[in-house]
């Protein structure tokens, strides 16, 4: 697999980061998992202790000729509160922080440019806190976390609304979610 076909994003709870990207032309696969930490093959329970250094993240395999990386970045920004340093919505702790993990120099430059553009847009009154970090080993999350929104739609939708994510997205980005 070529590195230019991978994108890795941490946007808080990984359950909420799958559906915005799926079913788009050029998106081949989306995997929920853990990255950015020091523990090999961590479990969900270990990551939730905030001692592994890992973020909950999604890794997307995509065809850049059909769906450019810049479009992935645009969707990513519209799913998170990029100003929150301590997690996302009611999920708190280092595993729920936001980050873009770049796989090559082009992704790094695109991520930095998109972050700078968002900062300059004036959309948010606080500074953009999302990290831009080099990609590191990605560990697939347990099976029950994969496509959680499809397997457990009622719980997923209650979580998305109850956490404040759905209202935040509607407030800042309109009806997109």
Q: What is the pLDDT of residue 99?
A: 98
The band of 2, judged by pLDDT with boundaries at 50, 70 and 90, is low
The band of 152, judged by pLDDT with boundaries at 50, 70 and 90, is confident
Whether pLDDT at 27 is above 90? yes
What's the whole-number mean pLDDT along residues 109-123? Answer: 96
Whether pLDDT at 177 is above 80? no
Both structure tokens of 17: 């980061």
Q: Minimal CA–CA distance to 99: which of 7, 163, 2, 173?
A: 7
Which single residue is written with the structure tokens 């997307």? Answer: 60
The band of 175, judged by pLDDT with boundaries at 50, 70 and 90, is low
DSSP assignment letter at 95: G
Torsion of the alpha carbons at 33, 24, 107 and 87, rounded to the nearest 10 = -40
What's the whole-number mean pLDDT along residues 104-110? Answer: 97
**pLDDT tens digits along 46-64:** 999 999 999 999 999 999 9
Whether pLDDT at 176 is above 80? no
Q: What does the alpha-carbon distance between residue 21 and residue 69 come to, in Å, rounded to a whole number?
A: 12
DSSP-assigned states of every residue in 2-63? -GGGEEEEEESSGGGGTTTTTTSTTEEEEEEEEESSSSSS--HHHHHTT-S-PEEEEEEEE-
SS3 125: coil
What's the whole-number mean pLDDT along residues 35-46? Answer: 96
**pLDDT tens digits along 73-92:** 999 999 999 999 999 999 99
State the burial class of residue 30 (Cβ atoms within 10 Å of its Cβ: 0-12, 13-18, 19+).
buried
Is 16 annotated in the active site?
A: no
Q: What is the pLDDT of residue 23?
A: 81
Q: Are 54 and 93 in contact (CB under 8 A)?
A: no
The band of 1, judged by pLDDT with boundaries at 50, 70 and 90, is very low
pTM (two decimals) = 0.93
Identify the active-site residue in 13, 30, 100, 128. 13
């Amino acid at each position: 697999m070529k590195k230019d076909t991978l994108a890795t994003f941490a946007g808080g709870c990984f359950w909420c980061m799958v559906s915005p990207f799926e079913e788009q032309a050029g998106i081949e696969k989306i995997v929920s998992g853990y990255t950015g930490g020091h523990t090999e093959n961590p479990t969900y329970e270990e990551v939730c202790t905030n001692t592994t250094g890992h973020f909950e993240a999604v890794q997307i395999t995509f065809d850049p000729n059909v769906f450019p990386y810049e479009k992935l970045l645009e969707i990513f920004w519209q799913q998170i509160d990029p100003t929150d340093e301590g997690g996302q919505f009611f999920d708190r702790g280092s595993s729920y922080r936001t980050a873009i993990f770049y796989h090559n120099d082009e992704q790094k430059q695109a991520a930095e440019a998109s972050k700078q553009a968002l900062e300059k847009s004036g959309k948010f009154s606080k500074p953009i806190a999302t990290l831009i970090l080099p990609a590191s080993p990605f560990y697939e999350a347990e099976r029950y976390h994969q496509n959680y929104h499809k397997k457990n739609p009622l719980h997923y939708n209650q979580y998305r609304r109850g956490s404040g994510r759905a209202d935040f997205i509607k407030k800042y980005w309109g009806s997109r979610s």
